[in-house]
Structure 1
Amino acid sequence: MADKSEEERINDARAKKAGKQRPFPACPFLEALDLAKSLLEYGSGQPVRRISLFDHIGKSPESGTSRQWITNASKYGLTKGSYKAEHLELTPEGAKAVDEELSERERTKAKVGLAIENIDTFNQLYEKFVGNKLPARAAMVDSARDIGVPEKFLEEAVDTFIVNLRDLGLLQTLSGAERIVTVEHLLDTLPSGTPRQATPKPHPHSPSNLVTLEHASFENTCFYITPIGEDGSEQRKHSDLFLGSIIEPALEQFQLKVVRADNIDKPGFITRQIIDYLLRSRLVIADLSFHNPNVFYELAIRHAARLPVVQIIRAAERIPFDLNQVRTIKIDTTDIYSLVPRIATYQSEISNQVRRALEDPDSVDNPVSFFYPNFVARIDG
């Protein structure tokens, strides 16, 4: 067999590399849109120096998180300029998406074009399912596979697609089920917009098998920080519902066992055991609902350790000032009729955030790590 030419080797290398890359941006659209908004605010629509922009935002321009943010905004077609570019600027469509002087209809049309129609993976999924109820997750994963999404990105593609649909208003609760609506239907509802929805069928969660500290496999553990309350209390019902109906299903694909404080079965000093879970678990999900002081105390420990955290809260509650810069998933629990159809969407939001936290744990961003990046090193030293 003859040796391949240099050109053939280069083409093979490119094809191999392409197969390992996501065929879609690595974050939901609204996260990338935040960069476009910052560009508009800081530069009034004109190109701006990348370093100056990030200094204004209060983030390091060279951090992995910032670089990924720039890359994703560019992939969505919101901005021009790579993470190495001297200047960043809005694209014409990106400018439309964030221009408050345009009508809500015009802005929404631009957003849909950037977030769905211009991303081939998402556009193909949208064209297949538009006009129907949100299909079973397995069906969506199969469809993503059929259109050529690499196996390792299938779950992420579906999660990001669903979150984008929800954020743009293309996923609406109609006739008691979440349905993927046409762009025309969405635009016809503007500028009044569609009401935000909210709350699941209570699936009382019975605490899973109790876990002893000796037998805990922290690498496969997600510790759930939540206000538990007494049996029958609102806090307990809330925690059971979120755990059994939203969090555990969202983590199934990651093969993580969720442990709550009342799952720990070991005589002795419970605070010490909780701290062990906070510092050793692969992931922590913190539920800020009810503004429980124990939750904030435990979250602060995890933040200080700069370990992966995903934050959630009931949509009706205010995120405390010190945490309002940290991305927090809001779950609307207003009424059962609107929450039940949206459970799958909330599961996808959590899965999306979990995946990113686990893939790049060094990018963990919180008030402690931002202002004192060497905090852990100082303690260890």
Structure 2
Amino acid sequence: METPATTHRCFYIAPIGATGSDIRRRSDQILRHIVKPAALECGYQATRADEIDSSGLISTQVLERILGDGLVIADLTDQNPNVFYELAVRHTTGKPFIQIISEGQPVPFDVQGLRTIELDHRDLDSAAEAREAIVRAIKAVEAGEAVNTPMTYTMDLAELRSSDKVEERGVADILEVVKGIQRQLSRPATETSARHDLALLQNVIGMWVQQGHLQRDSLMVLMGELKSKNGSAWLQDLMHSTFPGTTAPAQEA
């Protein structure tokens, strides 16, 4: 495969650690064997903070890269505070970012609903799959896929709530309930009540559809926000039975 000319900048946010530490070795290996090759394949030059060689305050330069680069890739492994601070700054821009995390680690609550690529840098197959997943994510962004963050979600809800259309205000209510269920499902102690709430929500949505309060477009909006495979499959069945011929948005595997 021919590698395209590098014309874009990508900033890699990650725990770095001290020279010779396990954290540094891991970060170096992921940058060298996963992040840089995947970015380069899509025409991006990936850089980590310690690789910035221009003069000036490093903290200022890091912020400039986070705010200005065409793409950011953030490693959420071990929930490093600096990583989350820098990722939050990126969220405010509304520009593309990709999240990765060590396989088996929980995705932190505040970004739990966002797509995150899991990897084990010590496993060659996992590393290859992660490279391919990053390439697919970059191509999806370049194809116009919306950039969603906790901030844009809140802004979208606010817009729906203020709508003069009853259906859109209803969708806002549903999305708020869905978000609450996602929070509950992340806490094992409340799993039973969360599943009860999910069943109740499904009954209410089904009733609103039958009564004509929710139309196809509203259900399409809701489909785009659902993260669980079970919830997506249920809503897809509802859409097909109520609005034959409807093609629901593709869901992440």
Q: Does 1:246 align with 2:30?
A: no
TM-score by length of 2: 0.57
How do 1:22-171 and structure 2 match up within 5 A?
138=1
2:67 maps to a residue whose letter is L
- Report the structure number with the largest CA radius of gyration: 1
> Equivalents in 1 of 2:66, 2:73: separation in Å?
10
Point out where structure 1 has 5 or more consecutive residues left out of the alignment. 1-137, 142-217, 376-381
Please report how far the alpha carbon of residue 372 of structure 1 lies from its aligned counterpart in structure 2 after TM superposition: 2.5
Q: Secondary structure at the match of 1:286?
A: strand
The residue number in structure 2 matching 1:237 is: 25
How do 1:219-238 and structure 2 match up within 5 A?
220-238=8-26
Q: Does 1:322 align with 2:110?
A: yes
The residue number in structure 2 matching 1:367 is: 150
Q: Secondary structure at the match of 2:16?
A: coil
1:228/1:368 CA distance change after superposition, 3 Å: same
Please tell me the root mean square deviation across aligned C-alpha atoms, in Å. Answer: 2.4
The residue number in structure 1 matching 2:89 is: 301
The residue number in structure 2 matching 1:279 is: 67
Query: Could you list the per-position Cα deviations for residues 317-375 of structure 1 after superposition, in whole angstroms to 9, with x for gaps in the alignment?
Result: 11110110000001135xx4xx12333222111111111123216x1001011103599
1:373/1:305 CA distance change after superposition, 3 Å: farther
Q: Does 1:260 align with 2:43?
A: no
Query: Could you list the per-position Cα deviations for residues 100-133 of structure 1 after superposition, in whole angstroms to 9, with x for gaps in the alignment?
Result: xxxxxxxxxxxxxxxxxxxxxxxxxxxxxxxxxx
The residue number in structure 2 matching 1:54 is: none
CA contact (8 A) 1:310 1:353 kept: yes
The residue number in structure 2 matching 1:290 is: 78
The residue number in structure 2 matching 1:83 is: none
Please report how far the alpha carbon of residue 286 of structure 1 lies from its aligned counterpart in structure 2 after TM superposition: 0.4
Q: Secondary structure at the match of 1:305?
A: coil
The residue number in structure 1 matching 2:234 is: none
Q: Does 1:311 align with 2:99?
A: yes
CA contact (8 A) 1:308 1:358 kept: no
TM-score by length of 1: 0.39
CA contact (8 A) 1:283 1:358 kept: no
CA contact (8 A) 1:310 1:350 kept: yes
Please report how far the alpha carbon of residue 249 of structure 1 lies from its aligned counterpart in structure 2 after TM superposition: 1.4
CA contact (8 A) 2:92 2:151 kept: yes
> Equivalents in 1 of 2:138, 2:156: separation in Å?
22
> Equivalents in 2 of 1:374, 1:324: separation in Å?
18
The alignment covers a number of residue pairs equal to 156
> Equivalents in 1 of 2:7, 2:124: separation in Å?
32
2:26 maps to a residue whose letter is H
CA contact (8 A) 1:219 1:281 kept: no
